[in-house]
Amino acid sequence: MTTDILTMTERSESTKLSPDYVRISAAAAMELGLKPGRLHRCNCGCINLLQNYPEGCFANCSYCGLARERPGIAELNSFIRVDWPLYPTPLVAEKIAEREANGGVGRVCIAQVQDGRANEDLLTMTKMVHDAAPEVPISALITATLMDREILAEIKEAGADIIGIGMDAANEEVFYNTRGKGAKGPHDWDYHWEITYIAREMYGPYRVNCHIIIGLGETDKDLVNVFYKCKKDQISAYLFSFNPEPGTAMQDLERQPIDRHRRIQLVKQLIEKNRLPREAIEFDENGFISHVGSPLKEVDKAIEEGDAFMTDGCPDRDGVMACNRPCGSYRPGEEYRDYPFKPNSKDLELIRKEMQLSDIITA
């Protein structure tokens, strides 16, 4: 099928726009009973929603399935390598309310794309969900480029209690090359941080989070710097795993080795939960971790708890991580980059092997 010949279904979907229609992750659709199937070893704790426009997104991030220049029809493209079926927003809101009444919903997350309609539509969609299920906490995963202080206040008034910001890149150069002018995109590093701090001021400590992707070309030192920066300002840093999507500009870039990913997850946990001082982390000449000066007892405890290797995501109303994004960083049968459930003893045994900790931690 070529991009200029649309099936009846595709023509129909191209007219089903947000805020009246919304895309929902396949896992969340299963959770709400909108799609058949079940998940392995877990459920979907957060209902992830995504705005729908026939053009997809006017940004052009090099790694993103919604990128403006990605070949193909926008409605058919995956996002984070996951299918996002389209449903009427009122139906989704109704199903969220039903699920809340029969076991509860951990959280709903409504994600924006870069589009001139996105702000008003985000407000409308947030109100729809909040009116249908007022007790369910809502995150707004915003496009910072579209934001200012006024719209951030309106999002809060509409019912969202957490703001998520897709910083994605861990340093300014990588940001420029993958999201900014270097990628023919509209985004700006400094403005993203400006909006992050405005949101932090308005929403409060740890009610704002920055998404950071490991594997876009950054160093370990870049990631560690972001972790300390966010911790200092009481902003949550959520770690994601780069996974190349076909048709994107970065489709041929290999994923980071699993040992690197596991070490970064562990170090992040030690920084955030164990107050690991910055000077305890040493880097080689290329900016990659060469030594971590943490007591083995603390390292073992952090590993055995397992939280370090779980999905980073927004909490439910009790403070327990809700946004576990099943299959967001892996396909069924692939190794877990982040676990959407608590790793068991067998999982932890594998994690220890993957980390190869003896290279960076000594007794």
Task: Give the angle subtended at the CA of 184 by the CAs of 183 and 190, to the nearest 5°.
Answer: 75
Q: List the 107-111 sheet strands across, edge first.
A: 86-88, 21-24, 46-50, 107-111, 138-142, 162-168, 208-214, 236-241
At 30, which amino acid appears?
M
Distance CA 168, CA 359 (A): 28
At 60, which amino acid appears?
N
pLDDT tens across 120-148, in order?
A: 999 999 999 999 999 999 999 999 999 99
Domain limits, the chain: 16-359
Residue carrying the six token digits 């861990």: 170
pLDDT tens across 321-346, in order?
A: 999 998 777 777 788 999 999 999 99
Structure confidence at residue 176 (pLDDT): 98
Q: What is the mean pLDDT of residues 258-274?
A: 97
| Tokens describing residue 275 | 């107050």
Distance CA 150, CA 258 (A): 42
Q: What is the mean pLDDT of residues 289-315?
A: 96
HEC sequence for 311-360: CCCCECCCCCECCCCCCCCCCCCCCCCCECCCCCHHHHHHHHHHHCHHHC
Confidence of residue 242 (pLDDT cuts 50, 70, 90): very high
Residue 13 predicted with pLDDT over 70: no
Distance CA 359, CA 204 (A): 39
pTM, two decimal places: 0.93
Q: What is the mean pLDDT of residues 55-72?
A: 87
10 Å CB burial of residue 285 (0-12, 13-18, 19+) is exposed
- Whether the CB-CB separation of 22 and 51 falls below 8 Å is answered with yes
| DSSP string over 77-128 | --BTTB---EEEHHHHHHHHHHHHHTT---EEEEE--S-TTHHHHHHHHHHH
Residue 362 predicted with pLDDT over 90: no
pLDDT tens across 295-307, in order?
A: 999 999 999 999 9
Query: Can the peptide bond before residue 244 be classed as cis, meaning omega within 30 degrees of 0?
Result: no
| Tokens describing residue 56 | 């997809």
Residue 78 predicted with pLDDT over 80: no
10 Å CB burial of residue 140 (0-12, 13-18, 19+) is buried
Residue 310 in 3-state DSSP?
Answer: strand
Distance CA 43, CA 283 (A): 38
pLDDT tens across 184-221, in order?
A: 999 999 999 999 999 999 999 999 999 999 999 999 99
Structure confidence at residue 326 (pLDDT): 87
- Whether the CB-CB separation of 135 and 285 falls below 8 Å is answered with no
In percent, the amount of the chain with pLDDT more than 70 equals: 92
Structure confidence at residue 73 (pLDDT): 44
Structure confidence at residue 329 (pLDDT): 77
Decide which of 72 and 42 is more confident.
42
What is the chain's mean pLDDT, rounded?
92
| DSSP string over 17-67 | -TTTEEEE-HHHHHHTTSS----SS----EEEEE---TT--S---TT-TT-
Residue carrying the six token digits 């200092």: 232
Would you identify the CATH topology of the domain 16-359? TIM Barrel (3.20.20)
How many C-beta atoms surround the C-beta of residue 37 within 10 A? 8
| DSSP string over 252-287 | TPPPPPHHHHHHHHHHHHHHHHH---GGGEEE-TTS
How far is CA 294 from its chain centroid? 29
Residue 81 predicted with pLDDT over 60: no
